[in-house]
Chains A and B, each alone.
Chain A
Amino acid sequence: MIMLYPNAPHRRTRAAFTLFELLMVMGIVLIIGVLAIPALSSVKRSTALTRAEDEILGELSLARQHAISVNRDVEVRFYRVRESAAPSAPWRFRAVQAYTYDAAGAATPLRIVRMLPREVVIDSGTTLSTLLAAARKKAWSADDPQPVVPGYGTDYEAWAFRFRPEGGTDLTPFPATPWFITLHDAGLGDSLATPPANYASIVVDPVSGQMSSFRP
């Protein structure tokens, strides 16, 4: 017999955990896990809000920089889609996408649609999202037709504003209320009257095009 570990303690002295021990540990882990589920869910929602905030800020920043770089209008569109395929499903702002307009006025997507995490929506009420006022709803026309959005086709609506080549926007300057949108947990509903406990507002300076965000 060849001793692989001649100096090793006898195996018997390193016997495995007993079944009881394992069951106990697993039980404890299970109990801890069950107890931690609510807390993890909250963290997950918060993380999703952060992700969504980063996603929109990134898209806006890229859109603005692209407008400056290529000397073109770049339009940021906020997509309002149904929650599900059911006809009665509510409309929610869940996606954002930037389009570049060429010299002839034709729009080309800057990149693919940026979908927000399912846990997060952009509040559609003008109290929390002045950028989504009815007056800013995108009007499709022959010159500017509605493109197909993967997963939604043309069954969506869009609200839009543009970054201009000098970095500013086409938004009305010096508004009484700043131009902004608010992201919050989808479970809280939509068109809230007041900001929830956790939210992210993204403010756009209409003159300079600079963006800033606010978290409570």
Chain B
Amino acid sequence: MKRLSSLSSARRGFALVVVLSVLAIVTVLTIAFLGSTMTEVATSRTQANTGRVQLLADSVPQIVISRISDATTGLVDPSTPASGRLAWASQPGMIRTYREDGTPATYHRLYSGDEPTIAGASFIQDAEVPPPNWDKQRGVFADLNSPVVRVDSVTGARSIQFPVVDPRARTTDDATSVAGFSYANAINGVVQPAAAAADSQRLPMPVRWMYVLADGTFAHPIEGVTGTVAFSGGAPTEANPIVGRIAFWTDDETSKVNINTASEGIYYDIPRYTGAPDFVLSMYSPALGEYYRYPGHPATTCLSAVLRPWLPSPNELAISYDTSYAPPGLAISPRLSPSVATELQTRLDAYLGLSPRSRFGGSKGGTVLTAAAPNGTVPSVAPKSERLYSSVDELLYGAAMPGTERAASHAALDKAALEKARFFLTANNRAPEVNLFGLPRVTVWPIHRNTAATHRTTQDTLIAFCSTLGSMTSAATQFPFYFQRGNPKSATDDYTGIARNGLLYSYLQSVTGMTIPGFGKSLLTKYGPAERDQILTEIFDYIRAVNLNDPNLPAAGRYTDDYATSGGTYGNPSSSPYRSPGIVVPIKIANTKGAGRWPVIDQAFLVFYTPAFPVAGATPELTETRVRAALMFNFFYPSQGFMVCFTNAQLEVTSAGDFRCEPVSNANPALSASLASPTGEFSFFNDGTTVTQWANANERGNGAGSPRNFGGNHGFASLLSHQISNADPRKKFTLVSRNIPVIRGDPTKAKWNFRGGTFRVNLRADPYPASGLGEVIQSYEFEFPDSLNNPIPTAGAIHNPTSNKYTPAAADIENGGKGQAGGIYMISRKADPVTQNGQDGGDVVRSIQLADKPGTGGYIGGDIRRLCYVTTVPKEWYSKHKNYDLGGYKAHSLRDGVGANLSDALNAGAVVPGMSFAGGANYNPYVRNEINGVYASRTGVTSDAPGDWNNSFGNGPDGPYTNRPDEGTAAAPGAGSEPYYEWNGVPQNKNLTSPNRQFPSAGMFGSLSTGTTQGFSWQTLLFRPDHTGKHPGRAGVAVDGTPSASAAADYMWLDLFHMPVVEPYAIGEPFSTAGKVNLNTQIMPFTYITRNTGIWAVLMSERVLGIPSTTPSQSKFYTNKLTNPDWRFPVNIPETLKGLQARFAAGDIFRSAAEICSLDIIPKDPADANAKYGTMGAYWNNRKLSGDNVRERPYTTIYPRITTKSNTYTVHYIVQALKKSRGTVEDVWVEDRDQIAGEYRGSAMIERYVDPSDPRVPDFATATDKTIESFYRWRITTTKRFAP
């Protein structure tokens, strides 16, 4: 047994050894296995965190989309449904909505925080700004702009990259900083630029964390500096723990400069005075394809506002002029100094090299001659069709691929530069073309009703596309928001014959009748129904009369008769003159009437002449002189400008009254006169009481040597100078008296009295191709008062330009003809060499003119535009000439087409009191002599607001014009006759005209009259600030000047229209436009950061023309072209921006881009200390010769490039996946102890858009109770990780 026991004990020991050995082996194996999988586990866990972070990151853009949708898609404010429509305006970080009464509704925060919205009434701007000690509040605030420092793993080089804005874009030197960018030390952590420590600059953008709980809800941290974060609202629990946190802020892409649409604007406008800059505009105007010089084009927005630290700006180049240069074969004409031109070209070339669609060429920024002479061609710019940038990063690379890689866009633009510029640039920003009612804007460009390519250019078709809602598959489901046209010779057809025009007209009636949300005012309240409709008709007709002779269409497809083929040219009159190039018969809609492009009669006059030499008697007092009367009219076109227009109208004239000649007997036989004929009655007319007279001119505006047909004053020669066969009955001049009373008396001493009468005139359109009488366009009544003690006319004469001699006119008039090849001087001049009888004197002329203040009361002020808008002009609107009763030969104020006085004409008056012009009265504006200052009023007293008159193009006389868009001129410059100073008509050149070169925006309507139905004169739509406080165009007053709190400002019209940009590509899509810059530059909640760069980009290429009102003014005298100063001043942008800052400082933003018209655009005028914010009233008081059109011009070209609404936003965000530590309680977050499991920093660009063919979209022209806002959809266009 002992052995057995001994053996058993040994076996037990061995088993233990075996078990321990196995355990050891298993343990080793287990440890080895775990060790081998530890890395995989860690990797998997990390990957899981990545997924959580990505999910959180994906949710942030959706949060912002939700907030923007809430802000923009509702018709009404949910909190106050009865408040009516809402307007909205965006800015970086916030969208604000406003009620119909103008009060703030709800402000939507586009950054993380406790609440997504705040009631506008409770909004305190400063409370939105992060607290100064944000950096101490760990776990509460996240700095979205926290930089990442990189130390290169190999070189050790240190670099810093900022996710949102690189503060180094601002340096200690303005010249090397991005324009308009700065920041203040409002919160901890801001480090300003210092001379030698750029890398230490910091610009924190702290926003609050929003903690995400497991169930998807948010917990909002309570401010505190302990690092242990408690929460308001739903606190985390063990069952619903913290799983992550997000922080975000949303930038508004329209606050940036679009690298696809912007390039580098070089200023262009029609020349307006005789200074060197304007002669450069004349001779070096932009060619087709020079989009960077198209006024108001997005390409005029300047990239150099951003890139100036690396690429010197062409717009910051000091300009000087060479006034000794004569282009080959031409007279001296100013140009840019050669050194300036060279540098300008170099700088411009660099910028245009960055643009995918704007090419360097053509006038090359106004340095290469584009006027047609001397070689008769205009340089054009080849299209540039590079792929558009899809992101700002691509700006580093050019289109060229010299090898296997793309070339750099420019040597000076490297990655570091781009990082600094990134906050100011975008490749995709779009602004909605939707009005404040959330309804479509109406396009201002006319489209022919005929859709064929013979009547619509490719640009027309694209504009039509961009202005159409609804399905394009069927005309029945298309809803065009553009006016159509088809018949320029009818006063009704384009309205009644095109149903859509009527619908759009009533659509505009409807929206003007609604209270404008955000403003609490309406246009209907301002004007009343009659005046509102009148303005609408003026606008409709203005649009209709644009682009009349498009050279890109065949002659038959052009809206009006073609100029080149039917109108003849200067020196080469057409043989078929009864056509109407450039003529548009005014539209009549109900009781309203437009201006069209049609003549009005501002002056009627009688010419008393002797058709034969007097028959001498035995003594002088027995001399018998035959006296005949002819009726004449002076035609004036307020629609002055290019293209040319040729008067072509019928006058149906009826006489009523005596019209008698009564010789005056005198006790002194030597002075006495008696009637030698059977009757003293002149007896109008030769052919009866009522006659029809043609007025027609084809490049013969006022007889030989005075061909002027650009609108403005056309004189009276169209009654006389028909370039057709004498056999044509229409050539007959019929407005002569049938009788020829004979006065017996000494022609040098005897007198006669004229007993007046009345003429009624129906001005009719050419019925062509029909014959007979045309449509009555306008009716006049002219009452000629008696004129006593007139001299006896001396022998009339006809000037023969060939022989330069005068021959009697009697024969032709006697025969009812007038056809002298060179035209006729119907009014012989006192100085004419009438040598036959040694007498001088000539004809006796008595005119009646458009009145200043009619005897029946009221005020016309000689505003010829008033005539356009009435169908029947009462006789009271005319009054006798100042010299009517003075007993002299001449009592008229007749001028030729360029404004030169005809013989013995009385000088014109002044639109600015006391003004005169160097070079003579020929430059005086088109107002009658007695007028010394005009006023926007119906009383015409000096305390009224100064009147709205326009500067002419070139150096023509100023006057009552309607600011016609420039269709271009290819006038060949000759000695002393540069384009726009040259008055010879030349057809448009394809290389000088296009829609977007002609029509920048609805700001062009700024010279359309207002208040005409209520008796106002010299008052036009006010699209600029009113420093007088008297102009009825301002907000808060009705059109008659009476206070009316709910009367909108004139500039609210701008919100209802837009001009699609279709060149070089569809920058304007249906109801949105790319490249606009947001006027609301204020950044919420980071108000300490100033980013006005976009506005700088808009303003850098603008100029302000300030013509001094020193007397006599040198502004028009041609001889001064080499000596006049440069009065086209660049914009003083910092001063101008003070207007914006004032609005922001008051806690408000701009609700409509139209409000730009309430801001001063301040010129950088070194000669006037008043050229600064706050004193611009005094400045313009010194620049009174800048007309209304000139002062509104900057607004016209700025407005289409700015917005207050954005469709595109970029969300910058940080998200972190979080994990609670076991040692911390569940309802708080302990920074540094709880764990950050993952992080994602990045940005996403989101875009709202409308599908124009959405079948749900109604025709808003009739459904104005709806809004297009609810049809917007969203897309996330790009997401980008911040991965430095």
Mutual binders A and B: yes
Pull 16 A–B residue pairs with CB atoms less than 8 Å apart, ordered by A.
Answer: A54-B36, A65-B43, A66-B46, A68-B50, A69-B1217, A69-B1239, A70-B1238, A71-B1283, A72-B1239, A105-B150, A105-B151, A136-B154, A138-B154, A139-B155, A143-B151, A144-B151
Question: In this complex, which of A65, A72, A164 has the most chain B Cβ atoms within 10 angstroms of its Cβ?
Answer: A65
Residues of B within 8 A of A143 (CB): 149, 151, 156, 158
Q: List B contacts of A66 (CB < 8 A).
A: 46
Contact A1 B1 (CB under 8 A): yes
Query: CB of B687 within 8 A of chain A?
Result: no
Given contacts A103-B146, A164-B1283, A165-B1283, whether A58 and B40 have CB atoms under 8 Å apart is yes
Q: Are B154 and A139 touching (Cβ within 8 A)?
A: yes
**Complex: how many Å from CA A66 to CA B1217?**
13
Q: How would residues 56 to 99 of chain A score, 1 for a CB under 8 Å from any chain B CB and 0 otherwise?
A: 00110110011011111101000000000000000000000000
Q: How far is B1282's CA from A160's CA once the two chains are assembled, in angstroms? A: 23
On chain A, the residues within 8 Å of B151 by CB distance are 101, 105, 141, 143-144
| B39 CB–A CB distance under 8 Å | yes
**Residue B1237 at the chain A interface, CB threshold 8 Å:** yes
A45 at the interface (CB under 8 A from B): no
> How many angstroms between the C-alpha atoms of A7 and B1283 in the bound complex?
81
What residues of B have a CB within 8 angstroms of the CB of A161 in the complex?
153
Measured CA separation A138–B149 after assembly (Å): 17
Q: Does A176 contact B (CB under 8 A)?
A: no
Q: A70-B1239, A73-B150 are contacts. A105–B1282 as well, Cβ < 8 Å?
A: no
Per-residue contact bits, chain B 572-604, to A (CB 8 Å; 1 contact, 0 not): 000000000000000000000000000000000
Residues of A within 8 A of B150 (CB): 73, 101, 105
Interfacial chain A residues near B1237, Cβ < 8 Å: 69
A37 located at the interface, meaning its Cβ lies under 8 Å from any Cβ of chain B in the complex: no
Q: Tell yes or no: A193 within 8 A of B by CB.
A: no
Taking a contact as CB atoms under 8 Å apart, the answer to whether B1283 and A166 are in contact is: yes
Q: How far is the CB of B494 from chain A (nearest CB, A)?
A: 60
Encode contact with A along B767-811: 1 for CB under 8 Å, 0 otherwise: 000000000000000000000000000000000000000000000
B490 to chain A, nearest CB (A): 66
Residue of B nearest to A114 (CB): B39
Chain A minimum-CB-distance residue to B47: A65
State the CA gap A101–B3 with chains docked (Å).
73
0 or 1 for each of B1241-1283: is its CB under 8 Å from A? (1 = yes):
1000000000000000000000000000000000000000111
> What DSSP secondary structure best describes chain B's contact surface?
mixed
A152: CB under 8 A from chain B?
no
Given known contacts A70-B1236, A73-B150, is B156 in contact with A141 (CB within 8 Å)?
Answer: yes
Q: A65-B46, A69-B50, A162-B153 are in contact. List 5 more A-B contacts (CB 8 A).
A: A61-B39, A69-B1237, A135-B154, A136-B154, A144-B151
A69-B156 contact in complex given A103-B146, A103-B148, C-beta closer than 8 Å:
no
Contact B1283 A139, beta carbon cutoff 8 Å? no
For window 944-978 of chain B, which residues contact chain A by CB distance below 8 Å? none
Q: Which residue of B lies closest to A166 (CB)?
A: B1283
Is B196 an interface residue when CB atoms closer than 8 A count as contact? Answer: no
- A164, B1281: Cα distance in complex, Å: 11
Cα distance A59–B38 when bound, in Å?
Answer: 11
- Name B1238's contact: one of A59, A69, A75, A135 (CB within 8 Å): A69
What residues of chain B lie closer than 8 Å to A51, measured between beta carbons? 36
Interface check B197, CB cutoff 8 A: no
Minimum CB–CB distance from A17 to chain B (whole Å) comes to 14
Is B46's CB under 8 angstroms from A71's CB?
A: no
Please judge, given known A-B contacts A54-B36, A71-B1240, A143-B158, whether A62 and B1283 are in contact too, CB under 8 Å: no
Q: How far is the CB of B1212 from chain A (nearest CB, A)?
A: 14
Nearest-Cβ distance from residue A136 to partner chain B, whole angstroms: 6
For the complex of A and B, the 9 pairs showing the least CB-CB separation, nearest first, are: A105-B149, A58-B39, A165-B1283, A141-B156, A139-B156, A69-B1238, A69-B50, A144-B151, A65-B46
Nearest Cβ in chain B — how far from A207, in angstroms? 13
Cβ contacts A140-172/B at 8 Å (1 or 0 each):
110110000000000000001110111000100
Q: Is the CB of A62 within 8 A of B1239?
A: no
Residues of A within 8 A of B1239 (CB): 69-72
Contact of B153 among A55, A75, A165 (CB under 8 A): A75
- CB of A66 to closest CB in B, whole Å: 5
Could you mark each residue 38-52 of chain B with 1 if its beta carbon is under 8 Å from any beta carbon of chain A, else 0? 011011001101100
Task: Specify which chain B residues have a CB less than 8 angstroms from the CB of A34 in the assembled complex.
Answer: none
In the complex, what residues of A have CB within 8 A of residue B156's CB?
139-141, 143-144
The answer to the question of A39 belonging to the interface, with a C-beta cut-off of 8 Å to chain B, is no
Cβ–Cβ contact B42 & A62, under 8 A: yes
Shortest CB–CB separation between residue B44 and chain A, in angstroms?
A: 9
| Residue of A whose beta carbon sits closest to that of B51 | A69
Residue B4 at the A interface, CB < 8 A?
A: yes
* B153 & A71 in contact (Cβ 8 Å cutoff): no
Cα distance A11–B46 in the bound complex, in angstroms: 64
Of A11, A68, A143, most buried by chain B (CB within 10 Å of CB) is A68
Give the complex CA separation of A141 and B154 in angstroms: 10
Q: How far is the CB of A166 from chain B (nearest CB, A)?
A: 4
Query: Residues 106-150 of chain B: 1 if any A CB is under 8 Å from the residue's CB, otherwise 0?
Result: 000000000000000000000000000000000000000011111
Chain A hits for B1283, CB < 8 A: 71, 164-166
Report the separation of the CA atoms of residues A66 and B43 in the bound assembly, to the nearest whole angstrom. 8
A19 to chain B, nearest CB (A): 16
Contacting residues, chain B, for A58 (C-beta < 8 A): 39-40, 43
A69 touches B47 (CB 8 A): yes
Q: Tell me whether A69 and B53 are in contact (CB under 8 A).
A: yes
User: Which residues of A in the span 28-67 have a Cβ within 8 Å of any Cβ on B?
Assistant: 51, 54-55, 58-59, 61-62, 65-66
Does A197 reach chain B (CB closer than 8 Å)? no
Q: Hey, which chain A residues are within 8 Å of B36, CB to CB?
A: 51, 54
Select from chain B the residue with minimum beta-carbon distance to A99.
Answer: B153
List residues 154-190 of chain B with CB under 8 A from any CB of chain A: 154-156, 158
CB-CB nearest in chain B for A59: B39
A78 to chain B, nearest CB (A): 12
Across the interface, name the chain A residue whose C-beta is closest to B37: A58
A144 to chain B minimum Cβ distance, whole angstroms, is 4
A160/B154 contact (C-beta < 8 A), A71-B1282, A103-B146 known: yes
In the bound complex, CA of A73 to CA of B50 (Å): 15
**Pairwise interchain contact B49-A69, C-beta atoms closer than 8 A:** yes
CA distance A36 to B147 in the complex (A): 61
Tell me the minimal C-beta distance from B10 to chain A in angstroms: 11
Known: A58-B39, A165-B1281. A104 touches B149 (CB 8 A): yes
- In whole angstroms, what is the CA distance A144 to B156 when docked? 7
Which B residues are CB-close (under 8 A) to A75?
153
CA separation between A162 and B1239, bound complex, in Å?
18
- Complex Cα distance, B50 from A101, in Å, reads 17
Most chain A CB within a 10 A radius of its CB, from B36, B149, B154, B1236: B154
Distance of A135 Cα from B154 Cα, bound (Å): 7
In angstroms, how far is the closest chain B Cβ from the Cβ of A49? 14
Given contacts A69-B1237, A104-B149, contact A62 B154 (CB under 8 A): no
Q: How far does the alpha carbon of A170 sit from the alpha carbon of B1283 in the complex, in Å?
A: 12
Interface 1/0 per residue, A104-119 and B, CB below 8 Å: 1100000100000000
Which residue in chain B gives the minimum CB-CB distance to A16? B7
Known A58-B39, A71-B1282; judge A170-B49 contact (CB<8 A): no
A169 to chain B, nearest CB (A): 10
Least CB distance, A97 to chain B, in whole angstroms: 13
**Inside 8 A of B1217's CB, which chain A residues have their CB?**
69
Q: Which residues of A contact B1240 (CB under 8 A)?
A: 71
Chain B residues, Cβ within 8 Å of A160: 153-154
B149 to chain A, nearest CB (A): 3
* Contact present for B1236 and A62 (CB under 8 Å): no
Within 8 Å CB of B155, what residues of A?
139
A61 to B148, CA, bound (A): 23
Bound form: Cα–Cα A104–B49 in Å: 23
Q: Contacts A69-B1238, A103-B148, A143-B158 given: A4-B4 contact, CB under 8 Å?
A: yes
Chain A residues with CB under 8 Å of B39's CB are 54-55, 58-59, 61-62
CB neighbours (8 Å) of A11 from chain B are 3-4, 7
